[in-house]
Amino acid sequence: MDLTHPETASVVGENSTTLCRLCGNTELLSVLDLGATPPCEKFLSATELDDAEQTYPLHLRLCENCLLLQIPGLITPEETFVEYAYFSSYSTSWVEHARRFVDETSDRLSLDSSSFVVEVASNDGYLLQHAVARGIPCLGIEPSVNVGRAAVERGVPTLTAFLTESSAREVRAEHGPADLVVANNVYAHIPDLLGFTRALRVLLSDHGTLSIEVHHAMELVTHAQFDTIYHEHFQYYTVLAARNALATAGLQLTDVELLGTHGGSIRLWARPIEAGATPTAAVEEIIAAERAAGLHEPAGYLDLQSRSETVRQNLLSFLLDCKKDGKTVVGYGAPGKGNTLLNFCGIRPDLLAYTVDRNPYKHGKFTPGTRIPIHHPDRIAADRPDVILVLPWNLETEITAQLDYVHEWGGQIVYPLPTLHTSTPTQEH
Ligand SMILES: [Zn+2]
């Protein structure tokens, strides 16, 4: 593996379809082609239904040199995130996950009123609100104007910006170096991987700590979670690939935790080389598990296409049977991953009459590409559909509990992944 020329890769990596954005290698192997789809957060208003809709290829490739999974940078984060529809606080379990993280990390790193915490892509303040509550000085860096405004309204200091080396230097000059930098569910979203990693290092004090949560490519590959691939996710990390990416900016991977969020994520802990930390045994253990799963060889990725197609065929067969039997089928949730699933499977309003979402921003809109209307969740109780297909399948426990009332009329709650299945009622009716 040759990672000795990151400065070369940073010049050629961005928006390239033929060069690995981590190592600059030209050998990119096709592992999953999902066709051409619109960006997954580009929900349509009723007045846009007669307009042309731009689609982009959604094609996952593997670098045969450094084993980073990636898609070409065809859309820029600026196009996606200036007006963004995703408010983290609409997921109850996600806010609780953030509270636990802040509590545990504050204790682990002895954070107090003399510390400084920065969160990159801080969304609506779902996480930093818990630092504010503990009296820990903090700053969110959030590019979406509308989402960042919601954070400020709940008392979380927020800078409207993308994290770049330049904005990182400005934050450091104004606030000083950070003791903790948090980057949750953003490390996949940046096409300039090398520049962004250097910016994380700029924010940190030499003795600081970086915490990153990102979906684990081992879960994506071993469970054919093809719907976690979308245009906004430019790369997909094994721990091995993440360790290599961090090292390009002088950051040492010191610990890894496996998390259940988003269908299987990793929390990476890293520190500047200057801190002289000793990595925990977990780092080598998880890298060994990735090796055992075949992920250190290109061959381990080659059946992702056929396994993803099996998920599609099973789901389509089920929906076509429902149609034939005269059952009403509606969706629950309108997440980004749902749009990859709906577009790849070719599911339109004939098979899924509508979906519902707790985020009022999406009400009255239509899913990109497949043009399925999105309503308020109350619509389910009013209509009493026979089948509810849950699109954010990674929140199965939480959503099955929320939807328990559908069993009153014999409604069936169905999840498409990891394999098509019906949830079990949590109580008798
Ligand atoms: Zn590479």
pLDDT (tens, 9 = 90+) of the chain, 429 residues, equals 444 333 333 333 344 457 999 999 998 999 999 999 999 889 999 999 999 999 999 999 999 999 999 999 888 766 665 555 566 666 677 788 899 999 999 999 999 999 999 999 999 999 999 999 999 999 999 998 888 888 999 999 999 999 999 999 999 999 999 999 999 989 999 999 999 999 999 999 999 999 999 999 999 999 999 999 999 899 999 999 999 999 999 999 999 999 987 779 999 999 999 999 999 999 999 999 999 999 999 999 999 999 999 999 999 999 999 999 999 999 999 998 899 999 999 999 999 999 999 989 899 999 999 999 999 999 999 999 999 999 999 889 989 999 999 999 999 999 999 999 999 765 544
For domain 79-301, the CATH class is alpha beta
For domain 305-423, the CATH class is alpha beta
Say if CB 43 and CB 365 are below 8 A apart: yes
In terms of Cα–Cα distance, which of 291, 208, 190 is closest to 245?
A: 190
Rounded to the nearest angstrom, the distance between the alpha carbon of 220 and the centre of ligand 1 is: 19
- Cross-strand pairs, 308: none
The 10 Å CB-count burial string (b at 16+, else e) for 306-328 is eebeebbeebeebbeebeeeeee
Rounded to the nearest angstrom, the distance between the alpha carbon of 418 and the centre of ligand 1 is: 29
Rounded to the nearest angstrom, the distance between the alpha carbon of 241 and the centre of ligand 1 is: 9
CATH 3.40.50.150 domain range(s) in the chain: 79-301
Q: How far apart are CA 77 and CA 415, in angstroms?
A: 30
The identity of residue 181, as a single letter, is V
Residues around the ion ligand 1 (C-beta < 5 A) = 20, 22-23, 25, 63, 65-66, 68
Rounded to the nearest angstrom, the distance between the alpha carbon of 14 and the centre of ligand 1 is: 13
Rounded to the nearest angstrom, the distance between the alpha carbon of 3 and the centre of ligand 1 is: 8
The identity of residue 262, as a single letter, is H
CATH 3.40.50.720 domain range(s) in the chain: 305-423
Rounded to the nearest angstrom, the distance between the alpha carbon of 66 and the centre of ligand 1 is: 4
Rounded to the nearest angstrom, the distance between the alpha carbon of 335 and the centre of ligand 1 is: 30
DSSP class per residue in 177-202: -EEEEEEES-TTS-S-HHHHHHHHHH
Rounded to the nearest angstrom, the distance between the alpha carbon of 21 and the centre of ligand 1 is: 7
Q: How far apart are CA 401 and CA 426, in angstroms?
A: 7
Rounded to the nearest angstrom, the distance between the alpha carbon of 236 and the centre of ligand 1 is: 12
385, 403, 425 from 411: Cα distances, Å: 7, 10, 10
Rounded to the nearest angstrom, the distance between the alpha carbon of 398 and the centre of ligand 1 is: 38
Rounded to the nearest angstrom, the distance between the alpha carbon of 1 and the centre of ligand 1 is: 8
Rounded to the nearest angstrom, the distance between the alpha carbon of 61 and the centre of ligand 1 is: 10
Question: E strands, 125-237, where?
Answer: 138-142, 158-160, 178-184, 204-215, 235-236
61, 80, 124, 164 from 73: Cα distances, Å: 12, 12, 26, 17
The sheet carrying 374-375 orders its strands as 374-375, 355-356, 329-332, 387-390, 412-415, 421-422
The identity of residue 196, as a single letter, is F
Say if CB 336 and CB 86 are below 8 A apart: yes
Rounded to the nearest angstrom, the distance between the alpha carbon of 110 and the centre of ligand 1 is: 37
Rounded to the nearest angstrom, the distance between the alpha carbon of 114 and the centre of ligand 1 is: 40
> Which residue in the block uniquely carries the two structure tokens 């239509």?
366
